[in-house]
Protein backbone atom coordinates (compact mmCIF):
# COMPACT_ATOMS: atom_id res chain seq x y z
CA UNK A 1 0.00 0.00 0.00
CA UNK A 2 1.37 3.39 -0.94
CA UNK A 3 0.11 6.65 0.59
CA UNK A 4 1.18 9.82 2.33
CA UNK A 5 0.40 9.03 5.97
CA UNK A 6 0.61 5.32 6.63
CA UNK A 7 -1.28 4.98 9.92
CA UNK A 8 -3.83 7.53 8.73
CA UNK A 9 -4.36 5.38 5.65
CA UNK A 10 -5.09 2.28 7.73
CA UNK A 11 -7.57 4.27 9.83
CA UNK A 12 -9.18 5.61 6.65
CA UNK A 13 -9.45 2.08 5.21
CA UNK A 14 -11.03 0.77 8.41
CA UNK A 15 -13.45 3.69 8.58
CA UNK A 16 -14.47 3.33 4.93
CA UNK A 17 -14.83 -0.44 5.36
CA UNK A 18 -17.19 0.16 8.29
CA UNK A 19 -19.23 2.64 6.26
CA UNK A 20 -19.57 0.21 3.35
CA UNK A 21 -20.00 -3.13 5.11
CA UNK A 22 -20.81 -2.37 8.76
CA UNK A 23 -18.89 -2.47 11.99
CA UNK A 24 -19.34 -6.21 12.54
CA UNK A 25 -17.82 -6.97 9.14
CA UNK A 26 -15.01 -4.50 9.91
CA UNK A 27 -14.19 -6.38 13.11
CA UNK A 28 -14.29 -9.71 11.27
CA UNK A 29 -11.92 -8.30 8.61
CA UNK A 30 -9.29 -7.68 11.32
CA UNK A 31 -7.50 -4.94 9.36
CA UNK A 32 -4.17 -4.36 11.12
CA UNK A 33 -1.00 -2.38 10.47
CA UNK A 34 1.98 -4.77 10.30
CA UNK A 35 4.79 -2.46 9.21
CA UNK A 36 4.89 1.27 8.64
CA UNK A 37 7.38 2.97 6.36
CA UNK A 38 7.79 6.53 5.13
CA UNK A 39 5.51 6.08 2.10
CA UNK A 40 4.54 2.41 2.29
CA UNK A 41 2.80 0.25 4.82
CA UNK A 42 2.04 -3.41 5.11
CA UNK A 43 -1.44 -4.19 6.36
CA UNK A 44 -3.07 -7.53 6.99
CA UNK A 45 -6.65 -8.69 6.92
CA UNK A 46 -8.60 -11.92 7.00
CA UNK A 47 -8.71 -13.79 3.71
CA UNK A 48 -12.52 -14.05 3.85
CA UNK A 49 -12.80 -10.25 3.71
CA UNK A 50 -10.02 -9.57 1.18
CA UNK A 51 -12.30 -8.49 -1.67
CA UNK A 52 -14.22 -6.11 0.61
CA UNK A 53 -10.96 -4.65 1.95
CA UNK A 54 -9.77 -4.02 -1.62
CA UNK A 55 -13.07 -2.26 -2.36
CA UNK A 56 -12.61 -0.07 0.72
CA UNK A 57 -9.03 0.73 -0.32
CA UNK A 58 -10.26 1.72 -3.77
CA UNK A 59 -12.97 4.01 -2.41
CA UNK A 60 -11.10 6.02 0.24
CA UNK A 61 -10.05 9.62 -0.15
CA UNK A 62 -7.14 10.48 -0.42
CA UNK A 63 -6.44 7.57 -2.74
CA UNK A 64 -4.23 4.67 -1.68
CA UNK A 65 -2.54 2.32 -4.12
CA UNK A 66 -2.19 -1.41 -3.53
CA UNK A 67 1.32 -2.35 -4.64
CA UNK A 68 1.40 -6.08 -3.93
CA UNK A 69 -0.51 -8.82 -2.14
CA UNK A 70 0.56 -12.16 -0.75
CA UNK A 71 -0.70 -15.01 1.38
CA UNK A 72 2.02 -14.43 3.97
CA UNK A 73 3.88 -11.40 5.31
CA UNK A 74 7.25 -13.11 4.74
CA UNK A 75 6.52 -13.75 1.06
CA UNK A 76 5.23 -10.20 0.61
CA UNK A 77 8.45 -8.75 2.03
CA UNK A 78 10.52 -10.96 -0.27
CA UNK A 79 8.47 -9.93 -3.29
CA UNK A 80 8.77 -6.22 -2.44
CA UNK A 81 12.52 -6.53 -1.91
CA UNK A 82 13.07 -8.26 -5.25
CA UNK A 83 10.82 -5.67 -6.94
CA UNK A 84 12.89 -2.81 -5.50
CA UNK A 85 16.13 -4.48 -6.62
CA UNK A 86 14.71 -5.04 -10.12
CA UNK A 87 13.77 -1.35 -10.37
CA UNK A 88 17.30 -0.35 -9.39
CA UNK A 89 18.75 -2.66 -12.05
CA UNK A 90 16.48 -1.19 -14.72
CA UNK A 91 17.43 2.35 -13.70
CA UNK A 92 21.10 1.43 -13.73
CA UNK A 93 20.92 -0.22 -17.16
CA UNK A 94 19.20 2.80 -18.74
CA UNK A 95 22.04 5.16 -17.92
CA UNK A 96 24.49 5.96 -20.71
CA UNK A 97 27.67 3.87 -20.49
CA UNK A 98 29.91 6.79 -19.58
CA UNK A 99 27.73 7.56 -16.52
CA UNK A 100 27.32 4.07 -15.12
CA UNK A 101 28.55 3.42 -11.65
CA UNK A 102 28.40 0.43 -9.34
CA UNK A 103 26.59 1.05 -6.08
The C-alpha atoms of residue 36 and residue 40 are separated, in whole angstroms, by 6
Whether the pTM exceeds 0.75: the reply is no
The enclosing H or E element of 44 equals strand 41-44
- The answer to whether 30 and 72 have CB atoms below 8 angstroms apart is no
Residue-wise pLDDT tens digits, 36-86: 877 888 899 999 999 999 999 999 988 788 888 888 889 988 888 887 777
Amino acid sequence: MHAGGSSNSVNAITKRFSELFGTIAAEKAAIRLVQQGANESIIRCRLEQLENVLVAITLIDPPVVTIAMSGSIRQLRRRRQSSILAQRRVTWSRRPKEHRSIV
